[in-house]
Structure 1
């Protein structure tokens, strides 16, 4: 499966499943951008270096594949001009009457601010609301993360509340804003909205 591409100021953005051979590029970005990423990501066992070393990719890749096969998650990598530039995931997928999941993403500093995250979220939302069969997606973001909030707000995610002391991030239990979107909020699709607003073009 490959989703996209869309052209934005940073380059040609596409989404695809993670590959075993992505480990080297993934690790280089994660280690280089520690200061940028660590302030937004939940605390996990081990040091940043251990968790993001090249050898750490193999078990993560295996876990992502297992969740995808069970239908609990849609894990993808973000590429810009064919090179890995980040990750985006829909997790916590529940079917039945709820048909919901959460979306999380990160991009490297070399493409931050170039429309990459916005294009990636738009393409994934359209996929989930289309062939993915979901009705609702939500995202939780620290109030201090202005860049991520802008991405979601530009795409029409609405704020639904504050989760107090929601996740252990960067040394403390942090409040997170909860934003959400349903199919009724994007009847024509988010990609079409980006194209109409001139924020992206078809590659």
Structure 2
């Protein structure tokens, strides 16, 4: 089976990651596909109340931004960034069905080899270890095949679930970004977390999770 697009040529892309078994099911990551439009839009529109407080303000309206017809442009943008080596975009699946997205963005090579990571998970998959498994798979991939050295992530102080996920995977808190991002109609503080390759080694995050009983390899 071919990947969603061909010709991406930089370390770690294209790729399929997992699967990893957690309480919610079998978690895997793959590149986005154009035919994800219906599942992506249905999930995003259904979960507006759950997602909207944690994502950048939708000035064009939540329904417009997440309509089926909005996906092709979003998919094309992700494809373009991946081909240029600026991002590693993935769809999160649980038992083969779309359950969210996780993206490694703003990739800088050279002597920095750094990026940020952000994700969202459907409301009905918010528990059961899906986000933790997806993040663990991405971190190991970034510090392995993708050749990165440092990852950063931010979350609002009020987002207790996301703070727990980052801590469980091993990200450490570095500080507070005041009025950092326009979220839900106002400038919001965000906690900054980071991890370096040395902190994930030698066994990697997935093996660490399996050893601690949080997941099983499939």
The reply to whether TM is greater than 0.5 is yes
Given candidates 194, 198, 218, the residue that maps to 1:180 is 194
**Structure-2 residue corresponding to 1:28:** 42
**Structure-2 residue corresponding to 1:155:** 169
- Give, in angstroms, the shift of residue 37 of structure 1: 0.3
Report the Cα distance in structure 2 between the residues aligned to 1:17 and 1:79, rounded to whole angstroms: 11
1:196 paired with 2:211, answer yes
- What is the total number of aligned residue pairs between the two structures? 203
**Structure-2 residue corresponding to 1:165:** 179
Secondary structure at the aligned position of 1:163 is classed as strand
1:68 paired with 2:82, answer yes
1:146 paired with 2:146, answer no
**Structure-1 residue corresponding to 2:115:** 101
Report the Cα distance in structure 2 between the residues aligned to 1:15 and 1:156, rounded to whole angstroms: 20
Report the Cα distance in structure 2 between the residues aligned to 1:34 and 1:40, rounded to whole angstroms: 10
Secondary structure at the aligned position of 1:114 is classed as coil
Any stretches of 5+ residues in structure 2 without a counterpart? 1-14
Report the Cα distance in structure 1 between the residues aligned to 2:106 and 2:59, rounded to whole angstroms: 21
Report the Cα distance in structure 2 between the residues aligned to 1:93 and 1:43, rounded to whole angstroms: 23
- Give, in angstroms, the shift of residue 155 of structure 1: 1.1
TM-score (norm 1): 0.99
1:136 paired with 2:150, answer yes
- Give, in angstroms, the shift of residue 113 of structure 1: 1.1
- Give, in angstroms, the shift of residue 43 of structure 1: 1.2
1:141-191, Cα deviation, whole Å (9 max, x unpaired): 000000000000011100000000000001110000000000111111100
1:35-86, Cα deviation, whole Å (9 max, x unpaired): 0100000113311000000000000000000000000000000000000000
**Structure-1 residue corresponding to 2:20:** 6
Any stretches of 5+ residues in structure 1 without a counterpart? none
**How well do the aligned residues superpose, as a CA RMSD in angstroms?**
0.6
**Structure-1 residue corresponding to 2:100:** 86
- Runs of 4+ off more than 3 Å: none
